[in-house]
Amino acid sequence: MTTNELRNYIVNTAITYLGTAEGSKKHLDIVNTYNAIKPLPVNYKLKTTDSWCAAFVSAMAAKCKLLDIIPAECSCPRQITLWQKLGRWKEDDAYKPSAGDIIYYDWDDNGSGDNKGVADHVGIVVSVDGNSIKAIEGNKADTVAYRTISVNGKNIRGYGLPDYASKAKEEEEKMAFKDIKNSIYKNAIEKFAKLGIVKGYEDGTFRPDENITRGQMVEILDRYDKYKEGK
């Protein structure tokens, strides 16, 4: 996936939980997904009665296999500490986020200067239109719901910035390596088939990806030995 595809992936995954109410089957799925994370953050098993905004973000990251770039936690302050350790914490209320960024709030901020208080809540940025931020959050009035807030809104504590670019590059490198491996395999099969070292089945099919018996392996090695002798 590209960087934008990864951003949209977690946003769209979160949207599938829109309207999920605390105590519902889908809420239990969020709790169970969080509790299945290994190692479990601070070895604490989330209860269905616990606050679950940070756990929601973590569960969405787990479902999207993005826990290497989105640190798991069920506590907003502890999750911010993890972002800071990663060097991916944005301490700037006026930052204009992108979809897939993680937004933190402090409801007790007085609006004077940059918000430095303790984070109370967290969500995933869905979109930004002008100076209007749309986020999706778990445990917003006990449901998964949208919130709209202005860029530089007084209650914005800061942002966790997942390194989607590095994740996309990693996936691209894996795909490139896979393509190289596949081309080497394909070329080798074609070469040895032309030389008569590997052959198909009696019914005329080739099936190069099937397992072979020890007898078939001996036969292939014998053909290769004869090929080497004839060179």
Residue-wise pLDDT tens digits, 193-216 = 777 777 766 666 666 677 778 877
**Which pLDDT belongs to residue 215?**
79
CB 228 within 8 A of CB 222: no
Chain centre to alpha carbon of residue 146: 21
Query: What percentage of the chain exceeds 70 in pLDDT?
Result: 88
> In angstroms, rounded to a whole number, what is the distance separating the alpha carbons of residues 78 and 61?
16
Residue 184 has pLDDT above 70, yes or no: no
Q: Which amino acid is at 37?
A: I
Q: Which amino acid is at 196?
A: G
Residue-wise pLDDT tens digits, 112-170 = 777 788 999 999 999 999 999 999 999 999 999 999 999 999 899 999 999 999 998 77
Q: For residue 40, what pLDDT band results from cuts at 50, 70 and 90?
A: very high
Mean pLDDT calculated for residue range 179-186 = 60
CB 7 within 8 A of CB 100: yes
Instruction: Look at 170 and 180; give whichever has higher pLDDT.
Output: 170
Expressed in angstroms, the distance from the first to the final Cα of the chain is: 47
Residue 190 has pLDDT above 70, yes or no: yes
Mapping DSSP to helix (H, G, I), strand (E, B) and coil, where does residue 212 land?
coil
Q: For residue 192, what pLDDT band results from cuts at 50, 70 and 90?
A: confident
Instruction: Look at 58 and 229; give whichever has higher pLDDT.
Output: 58
**Which pLDDT belongs to residue 207?**
66
> In angstroms, rounded to a whole number, what is the distance separating the alpha carbons of residues 195 and 223?
9
